[in-house]
Amino acid sequence: MEKRILGSSGLEVSALGLGCMGLSFAYGPAMEKQQGIKIIREAYEQGVTFFDTAEAYGIANEELVGEALAPFRKEVVIATKFGFKNGEAAQGQDSRPERIRAVAEESLRRLKTDVIDLFYQHRVDANVPIEDVAGTIKDLIQEGKIKHFGMSEAGVESIRRAHAIQPVTALQSEYSIWWREPENEILPTLEELGIGFVPFSPLGRGFLTGKINAETKFDSSDFRNTLPRFNEENRKNNQTLIDLLSAIAKEKGATNAQIALGWLLAQKPWIVPIPGTTKSHRLTENIGSVAIDLTAADIKVIDDAFAKTEIKGDRYPKHLMTSVGK
């Protein structure tokens, strides 16, 4: 698979990574462990070298990633995250230096590794100066426990302040055809500072694949049940987007998912999306997006079409909305 370098850091990864959250968290019941290992190893066999997990996805998620990648640990890049109280997003942020150190030690053990390739702050903590966070990561890098510093859903001000203390290798935030906010200020800032971008939910939490419609029923434990953008009425209204994407995909001899991922890959050479999946055939389909050649004209057609549509529904419920502008 094609390789990409995240910003000016020198960190080389496959052009497409694998988001591992959904293997055991958020999208319904966790996969059986051996099936999860199978998916991760299939991704590696097909050229994926970039794997994403987090403390907040549950202890089992990091342990799964660690076990699956142990046979070829030196050939892959593992990213994980810190930043929530007791590892639970619902309890709020906690990026105190002592907590960062504790999470690093726990993640190293669960991932069965002696170094974390990329350690993200999962969300900016308003109660801890970002300089203290960056300084702690800098110390951990000097101690050989971390290789690279990342941030997630951070705004321009926080990124600049952190970067001045310890260079930020990558920002991970939501970005896709139907969530374009990073284009306003984030992408220009990352380009200026030489920071790579790792879009999560590049397939709109599955909606952009065209496999979800107003009639779709999610498992009771699927967190999409709580997202305004996924209520039945909004799914029905947003179907126009899928019809447009399907038409473009048919013309290119590709799938909706491949066009959505190909669009992201075409934005900047330092963008590396991390779609997740629990199915082998979807994994292969997603990886096929790297070979999709979207021209500038194709991109313009897609952008013009989507500019004429109104996307209904917030991406998170109000109580979970966090500012990404600071």
Positions marked active-site: 57
Helices 33-45, 59-69: axis angle to 10 degrees equals 50
State the DSSP string of 257-279: HHHHHHHHHHH-TTB------S-
- DSSP codes joined into one string, 112-131: T-S-EEEEEESS--TTS-HH
Task: Quote the tokens at residue 324.
Answer: 């990404």
For residues 315 and 173, give the distance between their C-alpha atoms in angstroms, rounded to a whole number. Answer: 13
> How far is 51 from 65, CA to CA, in rounded Å?
8
| Identity of the amino acid at 257 | A
Is-contact 212 239, C-beta < 8 A?
A: no
CA distance 202 to 154: 17
N-to-C CA span, the chain: 36
In this structure, what token pair is assigned to residue 8?
Answer: 């000016």
> What are 308's two structure tokens?
């004429």
Contacts of 44 (CB under 8 A, 6+ apart): 69, 72, 75, 76
Question: Beta strand pairing status for 77-82 and 116-121?
Answer: parallel
- In the numeric block, which tokens belong to residue 1? 């698979």
Specify whether the backbone of 52 is left (phi greater than 0), alpha (psi in -120 to 50) or beta.
Answer: beta
- Backbone phi, then psi, for 130, in 5-degree steps? -60, -25
DSSP secondary structure, 213-260, as one string = -TT----TTBGGGG-GGGSHHHHHHHHHHHHHHHHHHHHHT--HHHHH
